[in-house]
Each structure stands twice: as structure tokens, then as C-alpha cells.
Structure 1
Amino acid sequence: MSGAGLRLQIGARTIATIPRRIVRVGLSLDAALANARPALPALGTGDDGYLVTSVPDALALDWRGVVFERQRYTRYYVDLAAGEAAWRGALSGQTRSTLKRKAKKLAAASGGRLDVRRFRTAANLADFHPIARALAEKTYQERLMGAGLPGDAAAVATMIERAARDAVRAWLLYVGEAPAAYLWCGADGDTLRYDYVGHDPAFAALSPGSVLMEAALVDLFDDRFARFDFTEGEGQHKRLMSTGGIDCRDLLLLRPTLANRGAVALVRGFDAALAVAKRAAALPALQQVAKRVRRA
């Protein structure tokens, strides 16, 4: 799949995009754990290069062109085959206490019990999708990144077809009669991926995402999957709830053209300036200035 360009980002927000045709090649968790070399498809005439994601730190890629590291992170996962007791035992005492407290608080707001609804068949997914899609439209994933549950007809048909092959697991969490959070996961062999997630901001104080994640994992310990893949990128909840992880990086591999070198130099300069700004903002004197500005 060819992307639209190189993004200049502050957190999840895209400030500008440098037009480039980039072919995205993502390694699966199994491939990353096996230190497998990615298979790069032939570039089209108008393609500028590849974005290869989840490249293990231990794997060197040979590329005669521009190589640029976009980001570095740990790809976290849960070993489902080890069982629920082993998973809970690997959590810190504070994390176990926090999960218990959050579940109890949400249950109290929902009539004394957790209302988690599970979906896996094609018929189930047809019921799940419109409710989850309405939730997705309210989330920051949708507003800032366009990464909410897809709503177009082709995507819905694909989801239902995958469910018919036993390759989907999905959940909805309700508070009272209102849907509060959703989770949609697609299977990659015997690994289940953390693909689409979100919650209604109106229920944020009840931590519905964390409560639903715990309930989903409990279900999965009795399912057919060997691992739950938190996929690419960092996140506190991923780190706290995982049992393992592999250090990875995302690499841009571009044709050695002057335009591509210039684009990478611009992105590198933007990222460096942003890092300097973040360090400066952390200085106590500037923090005090920021507080005075906010009070003004």
C-alpha cells in the first residue's frame, strides 16, 4: 500500500505532509520475534521507497539508498499460552490493584456488574459494527489520527468475511444502557492483534478502555490464540499489561534521489527542533512562565 507522504508530527497531530509515495511493509509479531527479513515488493515507477515497520533492533537491512529511522519502540505482547494465573503473577502489585479498583468503580456505575458483550461470528459482527463505529467517531484516535474503526462498506464487508473464518474477536463495554468502549482484534495465525480500540470521552473518568482490555484478555486465555499482540508503538497500558516485548524501529528506505534526501533532511530537522523545544519546556523557569500564561 502506497502512502501519501512523510508527516511532520507533534505527538499524534500532523502539522504538515511532504508528498511522497511510500510503500508500507509491516512485520508481524511472529516475524519480528523470529528476526525475519522483510520481503520488499518491487517499487512502482512513481514510488519513492518503503516504510518498514517493527524491524527488530537485532536485524540489519541492506539498502543502497536513503535510510532514516522514523521511530523506536518496544512491541509488547501477552503470552496467552502461559495462562491467566501466570499473566496476573507477572503484573506488578500496583497494576493488579489498579485494575481491580477500576473494574469495581465502573461496575458500581453500571448497576453493580460489568456489562461486557462479546462478538466473533459474522452475524455478531454485523450487530457490533454500527455501535462501535458510532463510538469511534467520538474518539481521539478518529479525530487526530483517522485511526478509528473503519466505516466504509468495503472495510465492513472484509471484517465480516474475516469473522466467518474465525479470524476476529470483538467486545463492547456498556455503562448502564450506553456503549462506553469497543475493542476489535484481527487474527494473524495464532496471534490476535490489538487493531481498533476507543471509548466515549464522556466515560473517561471510569477508565472503560482499561476495564475492557482486562476483560478481553481474560476471555482470550480460554481461546485458541497463543499471543496477544499490542502492535506497534508505545503506551503505558501496553507496558503494564504485557508479559514480553521486542525492541523495534520503523525505517524509511528511500530511493537515493536529491528530492528524497531533502525531504528526509527536513523531517530530521523538524524532529530535532521539536526535541529541543521539549527539553526547553521542561525547564522549571519556562514551566512557571507557562503557568502564568495559562492563568492570564
Structure 2
Amino acid sequence: MAPVGVDFTVGARRLASVTRSLATWRFGLADVLSQACARLCPPDPGPDGLRVLSAPQHAVPAIIAHLPDHLIGSRQDYPRHYIDMGKSGAPDFAAYMARFSGKTRSTLRRKARKLESEAGGFHVSEHRTPREIERFLELALPLSARTYQARLLDAGLPDTPGARRVMLEAAEAGAMHCFLLHAGSQGGRRAIAYLVLPVEGRVLVYAHLGYDPDWARVSPGTVLQLEALERLYAEARFTHFDFTEGDGKHKAMFATNGVPCASFVLLKATPANRALLASRAGFDGAVAGVKALAARLGVLAGARSLIRG
């Protein structure tokens, strides 16, 4: 049980958030791919209801039927992106890279060369053991505070004793992979991007990716993602890389597959909750209308840059 914000967002900027006490029902990739989600039993709802994360769209009616006296709202539909790293997908890094067009492969190589040129070299470090994770957090937490995810969405690396304990316990069990991208030559390196990947069975879970906004022009997140994937493929240990809930260009570019999913809240049918969901629906409709108008006028890209700035 935890306080959950029903957010009012425009692009990457959260303008307002109304908190409700909700239980969370999160669907893992194995659940989604098994097609058995509709038969799963939800957790008991919290005082205000339930938050459902990344449920397969075909199962949504059955999920709602579990709580018929609750209101559905704040719904987001998207493809749940993932990389099939097994025999039926891209079984090794060479096969994975072969999926991209020649132009895209050239672009990815060019991004790495540009970073190397502007930074005077770069290095990627891996962090898995508890001691290595402590060092990772020492460098990544100050970096996370600078990212737009932390500043605008409160979605940076969690900096709490509980979150640290969870990461260290996972590392002790061999179930945590973290990567840092360092710009510069040896002796003068600076961490500019991080990637956090908990491991569930043989599935890598995309938990956190962030980068220093001062280095955004050289695509550090993209460079780090590709370098990490090459190393992870070399282990020949994992079956999937799960990009979890939400859509985005980064996820879509690196994924090999996707499953239609939805995230939403189920709130108790109180007058306050009815008003909240109606307000959120009206706000989303207004934002969609403004985006459509901006797209027709050819100013959408500039508006997105302004929102993230």
C-alpha cells in the first residue's frame, strides 16, 4: 500500500498530482506473454482503490470485473516493448544488430564516435555485487538529481534507505545489473548516464535510465543502452529484456517485440474520485486537442523541446 499520484502531465512535465492510497497490481512480462492474466487474482484494494500497471489489453474487461463498484480512469494504452533474447528472437548480439537497417546501424555507431570525440573518450562500468552497487549509487544518485526524469516527473533513482536495501539485497542474490557511462579519459572521467536492471528469473527489467542533460546532444542514454546490451548478450543467460510500462522512442527503437497493454487506476466510486477522474479526462482531452492543433501548424517538435526544458 502506498500513496499514488494521479498526475496531470503535458509531455514530460507534470503540472499537478492528486494523491490517493492505492494497492498496486503489476503484471510481469512472463504474465503478459503467458496469456493467463485474466485468471490472476488481484490484491486487495487500498483505501482508495487499485493501480493496475501494464496489463494486457485483452484482459482489461476481466480485471475491471474484479472490482465492479470502482471507477476506471487515468488509462494509458501502449505497446509493452521487449527484446526477445532467446532462440525465437535475436539469439546473439550480431543477430540483434542485424534487425536494424544499415542507416540505423550507421547512426548508432556515429553517436558513439561523437561522444568519444567530444568527451575525449568514454568508459562503461558494470556494477553487480553489493560493494559495486554501493559505488554505483555514490555516483548515480547525484547524477539522477540532475535528470529531467527526476526534475519533472519524480522518476529518478529513489534515494531512500528502503530502496537502497532492496538493491543491495538483489545484488547479494545475483539479481541486479547496473551500468554507468563515464565521459573522459582515465583519471578525468565523469559519470554522465546510468542504467539500472533488476533481474527476475531470466528477464532483465528496465527500471531506470537517466543522463546528464548537459550531455544530451551526444545521446548518452542510447550509447549506454547499446553497450549494455552487447555485454548482456555475451552472457547468454537472459531470455528477455523487458521495457515495462509506457511507450517511447527509445524503447520502440531497441525493442524486437511488443504486446498491447494498459495502465490505469480503479478508484472507489466516491464523489471526490468521480470529480478527480472527470477532471483528468477533461485535461487529457484538452492536451490532445492542443497537440493535434500544434501538429497541424507544424510547431509540435518545438513545443516538446520547450516542455522538457
TM > 0.5 between the two?
Answer: yes
1:176-219, CA deviations, whole angstroms, 9 ceiling, x for partnerless residues? 11111111111111111111111112222221110000000001
Amino acid at match of 1:41: P
SS of 1:222's equivalent in the other structure is helix
Mean Cα displacement is larger for which, 222-231 or 168-177?
Answer: 222-231
Q: In the alignment, what sits opposite 2:232?
A: 220
**TM-score, reference length from structure 1:** 0.89
Residue pairs, 1:1-296, within 5 angstroms: 1-35=1-35, 36-37=37-38, 38-44=40-46, 47-59=47-59, 60-61=61-62, 62=65, 63-65=67-69, 66-68=71-73, 70-81=75-86, 82-111=91-120, 113-176=121-184, 177-223=189-235, 224-284=237-297
Contact 2:198 2:205 in 1 (8 A): yes
Summarize the Cα distance change of 1:190–1:179 in structure 2 as closer, same or farther, 3 Å threshold.
Answer: same
> Using the alignment, how far apart are the partners of 2:17 and 2:155 within structure 1?
17
> Using the alignment, how far apart are the partners of 1:200 and 1:286 within structure 2?
26
Summarize the Cα distance change of 1:242–1:123 in structure 2 as closer, same or farther, 3 Å threshold.
Answer: same
> Using the alignment, how far apart are the partners of 1:96 and 1:120 within structure 2?
29
* Structure 1, gaps ≥5 residues long: 291-296
SS of 1:58's equivalent in the other structure is helix
> Using the alignment, how far apart are the partners of 2:266 and 2:181 within structure 1?
41
> Using the alignment, how far apart are the partners of 1:283 and 1:239 within structure 2?
24
SS of 2:25's equivalent in the other structure is strand
| Equivalences, count | 285
Contact 1:171 1:182 in 2 (8 A): yes
Summarize the Cα distance change of 1:159–1:257 in structure 2 as closer, same or farther, 3 Å threshold.
Answer: same
> Using the alignment, how far apart are the partners of 1:251 and 1:134 within structure 2?
32
Q: CA deviation at 1:286?
A: 8.2
Summarize the Cα distance change of 1:11–1:285 in structure 2 as closer, same or farther, 3 Å threshold.
Answer: closer
> Using the alignment, how far apart are the partners of 1:39 and 1:213 within structure 2?
35
Contact 2:143 2:191 in 1 (8 A): yes
Mean Cα displacement is larger for which, 130-139 or 75-84?
Answer: 75-84
Contact 2:74 2:277 in 1 (8 A): no
> Using the alignment, how far apart are the partners of 2:298 and 2:211 within structure 1?
37
RMSD: 2.0
> Using the alignment, how far apart are the partners of 1:265 and 1:282 within structure 2?
26
Contact 1:3 1:24 in 2 (8 A): no
* Structure 2, gaps ≥5 residues long: 304-309
1:141-188, CA deviations, whole angstroms, 9 ceiling, x for partnerless residues? 110111111222222122111101011001111111111111111111
> Using the alignment, how far apart are the partners of 1:171 and 1:10 within structure 2?
30
Amino acid at match of 1:104: R
Contact 2:74 2:280 in 1 (8 A): no
Amino acid at match of 1:90: R
Mean Cα displacement is larger for which, 128-137 or 54-63?
Answer: 54-63
SS of 1:282's equivalent in the other structure is helix
Mean Cα displacement is larger for which, 31-40 or 48-57?
Answer: 31-40
